[in-house]
Structure 1
Amino acid sequence: MPRILIVEDEDIIRSAVRKLLQHAGYEVADARSVEDADSHDPDQFDLIISDLRLPGAAGTELINRAPNTPVLIMTSYASLRSAVDSMKMGAVEYIAKPFDHDEMLAAVESILARKGSGDQAQEAADASGSGPEESDPGQIMFGHCDAMQKVFTLIRKVAPTETTVLIQGESGTGKELAARALHLLSPRASKPLISVNCAAIPESLIESELFGHEKGAFTGAVSARTGLIEAADGGSLFLDEIGELPAEAQARLLRVLQESEIRKVGSTQSRKVNVRMIAATHRNLKAMTRTGEFREDLYYRLNVMQIRIPPLRERQSDILGLARRFLKRQGERMNKPNLQFSPEAMRALERHRWPGNVRELENAIERATILCDGDVISPSLLDLDSDGGDEHIPETLVEGNNEQTTRDADSASDLSLEDYFQHFVLENQDRMSETELAQKLGISRKSLWERRQRLGIPRKKSGS
């Protein structure tokens, strides 16, 4: 059983992560500071998960005190650049707060698998000079249907190469898990996988975040900073929502793909980088090239190998398997290990179209687990016919009655509720205040802000 040490000074976060990992089957110890961690002999653990900012010494100090143990750094998005610096110091990965349970578990599984692969590789090399044994994508993602088996086959074939990959799929289908599988099964598995949500970074900062900047390059640039692409040197860079990149950043990214070099903002010097590029989008990039929203030359550079993750409605035979997997996990977390679906609930799960895909299914199971008083999940607990209480998407948005969304009415059935929300906010935020947007969406201003944070939609009007 892998042993994990959590170093976090906030009691609530430390307790939550500890319980999450214990329910997932790990042996866990925790500490409030680097000094406190020393008493646990940190180099005897399989993984250390540490907050970046701690009382006394910083979390990165554990990299030096436990040189044989991988360190996963937790940080707020505001400290993202510091997290990148920590990876340059030797941290194996970072995870931005707030994170959901699956994101943390996926990161832990990835790091431990990478560590195991490295150990196996060394043993194999000592014995016969052969490389590490490949893991199966089915250990990282779930899917028994023919469509997912084709995805797994494609991942196995393309992962060992240096080919650029474009992952396409609707929101909630698991594109980031596919990127993790590609990285984990590649020769770069021992190097960092840097994940970037292009839609979550303000347009004014995207070039600085990706390429870095020199001191004095712009107001506020008080020191030189390393960009995320450079931080991924030797490893893989996952660019999620690549269709949201502004035009100037697209041109600079094209140079990275063509010349394998970057130039920091404010610098006249270029430097070579060795990065495997993996991009993902839920948008039609080919159509965007015709409207001028996306560079055609960049599209063809990215689209060397394409992997399409099928929506859940095309994975009918996987629905119950996924549901049982999520139910087991949620039951263990909430101390309800004997939960099961009623026959009616299973039929309801199979009949639902799942516009939010796997993410929607997981949320439905979590909600039902919380509400269930006995051991049987009924259809009413799944609540598949509603949009989640007061936080609803109005009919004007779904049916296309709003003049701003009419042109998308034909494709409405292919969009998830999150897509509706994102489209409505982006189309109307320049002419509506935050209060008006919230009223039109039928949610509170607080809920609007929380959804912006979750979906990575920046506010364009600072005075609203």
Structure 2
Amino acid sequence: MARILIVEDEAIIRSALKRLLERHAHEVTEAGSVEQAQAFEISEFDLIISDLRLPGVAGTELIKAAAPAPVLVMTSYASMRSAIDALKLGAVDYVAKPFDHGELLETVEGILHQRAMATGSPPSITDERGTRAMMIGDCAAMQHVYTRIKKTAPADVSVLIQGESGTGKELVARALHQQSKRATAPLICVNCAAIPETLIESELFGHEKGAFTGASAARTGLVEAADGGTLFLDEIGELPLDAQARLLRVLQEGEIRKIGSVETRHVDVRLITATHRDLRALSRSGEFRLDLYYRLNVMQIVLPPLREREADVLKIADILLEKACKRHDRPGLKLSRAARQDLQDYPWPGNVRELENALERGVILAEGHLIHPDDLGLGPVTHRPPLQPSPQEATEPAQDEEDLSLEDYFQHFVLEHQEQMSETELAQKLGISRKNLWERRQRLGIPRKKTARRPNQG
């Protein structure tokens, strides 16, 4: 539930907006002017929706005063220039009166979602050696991961972490455990792919003395060892079907039975699993139980591969390089410009783990105070060539490269679809914000479609 402030001098519009937003589980506060709005701590609201034309002080005065809270402005079609000015002052978006309820709600939810993603902060984690660490990365995908961890950790439910090898799935599991209500209880981590299939059931569920050849003493399983805490099963897709059936009973009944025993024991375990494989596809081929998949996938966290985190690569590299320099007593080593470019352009099939190994090699092999590309030992790197402007473009004012390459497509798409789509739908299809859509319309001289005003209803 978000806290929203509506600033509107027309009581009918203000009340209608309040009812609409409250029906969608938001907490709404009203104000009829900027002066009334400033009686509240406006920066603490999740969103402010304000008319531009207000008695006394204009609605644009709220934009700076409300920071960091986003401001969504309302205006009439006749005053669209004022909306553009408000966007330039920092308003997050605008809606035109009379607005469609569905479009308004979609805009509000989009702003609130972006705000939630932007405020995600990396969790602090204690590793198995007791060392404090932080997850690294500021890109939008990692902000989403941080937010999902923060919301999911206290909810005592099963979590499925998906991501390629080397993306940090165990770090996420540790963060979930350490921010949960079970933080003071054990966290038991098991890599299902690292245990032979003939031993996995015994490792997980334990066995009695004499249960099989070589079982010279009774053994407590890892599931029971995690009683009261969290069990993290990495590479869950490698778990044999017999062990899957036993694990399903743990989730359904909270019970385990050691191999060779007729007695069952109750356990209270939170299960976090991880995989780089498609469990639904495995279930279709009979390699993974579909009922177990549904039990595991109560909440899902997806870790992005490093190649999709271009903005984070060098930041991660600098932190990992500093740690490697300390381990090998090579203080002051830096990456050369060419090495940094290689790190930026390399596709990283092994993700963060491969990056860490490359920097380790660089620290060991570097001759002077700089680490060069050959020291990193990466495979072939395909560099992204810079776009070369045409002679005509070179004489014109610099524009965004994306705008130059997409202008024709943008103009054709908007003119073809604007009669059937709302501004929000157009922006989504083009992969840009409504603000960006409006700015491009202005630059290319494409007028916004007119929407017929609805007749008053008696």
Please state which band the TM-score falls in when normalised by the shorter chain: 0.5 to 0.7
Q: Distance in 1 between matches of 2:366 and 2:135?
A: 27
Q: Which amino acid aligns with 1:374?
A: G
Kept in 1: contact 2:158–2:296 (CA 8 A): yes
How is 1:183-194 mapped onto 2 (pairs within 5 angstroms)? 183-194=177-188
How is 1:309-328 mapped onto 2 (pairs within 5 angstroms)? 309-328=303-322
User: Is 1:107 matched up with 2:128?
Assistant: yes
Question: Among residues 221, 231, 243, which one is paired with 1:227 in the alignment?
Answer: 221
Q: Distance in 2 between matches of 1:109 and 1:214?
A: 33
The structure having more radius of gyration, on CA atoms, is 2
User: Is 1:143 matched up with 2:164?
Assistant: no
Q: Secondary structure at the match of 1:321?
A: helix
Partner of 2:147: 153
Kept in 2: contact 1:140–1:177 (CA 8 A): no
Partner of 1:353: 347
1:145-204 Cα shifts (integer Å, max 9, x gaps) = 111111010001001111100001001111011111111111111111101111111111
Question: Among residues 241, 261, 270, which one is paired with 2:264 in the alignment?
Answer: 270
Q: Distance in 2 between matches of 1:228 and 1:140?
A: 27
How is 1:3-402 mapped onto 2 (pairs within 5 angstroms)? 106-109=127-130, 139-385=133-379
Q: Distance in 2 between matches of 1:385 and 1:204?
A: 38
Q: Can you give the 5+ residue segments of structure 2 that lack an aligned partner in the other structure? A: 1-124, 382-458
1:232-270 Cα shifts (integer Å, max 9, x gaps) = 001100001100111100000000000111011111111
Q: Distance in 1 between matches of 2:369 and 2:223?
A: 48
Kept in 2: contact 1:140–1:181 (CA 8 A): no
Q: Distance in 2 between matches of 1:225 and 1:386?
A: 49
Q: Which amino acid aligns with 2:130?
A: E
- TM-score, normalisation: structure 2: 0.55
Kindly state the Cα deviation for residue 140 of structure 1 after the two structures are TM-superposed: 3.1
Kindly state the Cα deviation for residue 333 of structure 1 after the two structures are TM-superposed: 1.5
User: How many corresponding residue pairs?
Assistant: 257
Kindly state the Cα deviation for residue 220 of structure 1 after the two structures are TM-superposed: 1.6
- TM-score, normalisation: structure 1: 0.54
Q: Percent identity?
A: 63
**Cα RMSD (Å):** 1.6
Kept in 1: contact 2:126–2:174 (CA 8 A): no
Q: Secondary structure at the match of 2:352?
A: helix
Q: Which amino acid aligns with 1:205?
A: L
1:37-68 Cα shifts (integer Å, max 9, x gaps) = xxxxxxxxxxxxxxxxxxxxxxxxxxxxxxxx
Kept in 2: contact 1:313–1:357 (CA 8 A): yes
Q: Distance in 1 between matches of 2:218 and 2:128?
A: 29
Q: Which moved more, 1:293-302 or 1:339-348?
A: 339-348
Kindly state the Cα deviation for residue 229 of structure 1 after the two structures are TM-superposed: 0.2
1:340-385 Cα shifts (integer Å, max 9, x gaps) = 1111111111100000000000000000000011111112211222
Partner of 2:96: none
Q: Which amino acid aligns with 1:108?
A: R
Q: Secondary structure at the match of 2:232?
A: strand
Structure 1 segments, 4+ long, off by >6 Å, are none
